[in-house]
Amino acid sequence: MDSISLIGMVSIIMAGLTIAIGSLGPAFGEARAVAQALSAIAQQPDEATTITRTLFVGLAMIESTAIYCFVVTMILIFANPFWDYVTNTAGG
């Protein structure tokens, strides 16, 4: 197996792991945040607007982690810098 095939194989495996773990973590985090927010609203209904606003800001921050993992996965699959290095070294 040459180095180009090895880099391709490892990149695809790591992209799969990145998107799998990178989507599970935020999913569990968002579920916990929503559960806690609903509990807080049930205890203090007067503060529902403040809790909801804070919840949406927190959910956006949690979701950004999943988006970053998606971006890293796309880079590993379509714009892999290791692939370019090996092909340039082998060609030159």
- Pairs from 70-75 (Cβ < 8 Å, separation ≥ 24): 70/19, 70/22, 72/15, 72/18, 72/22, 73/15, 73/18, 73/19, 73/22
Residues of the chain predicted below pLDDT 70:
91-92
Global pTM value: 0.76
Residue 29: count of CB within 10 angstroms of its CB: 17
How high is the pLDDT of residue 90?
Answer: 72
Tell me the domains of the chain and their CATH numbers: 28-83 (1.20.20.10)
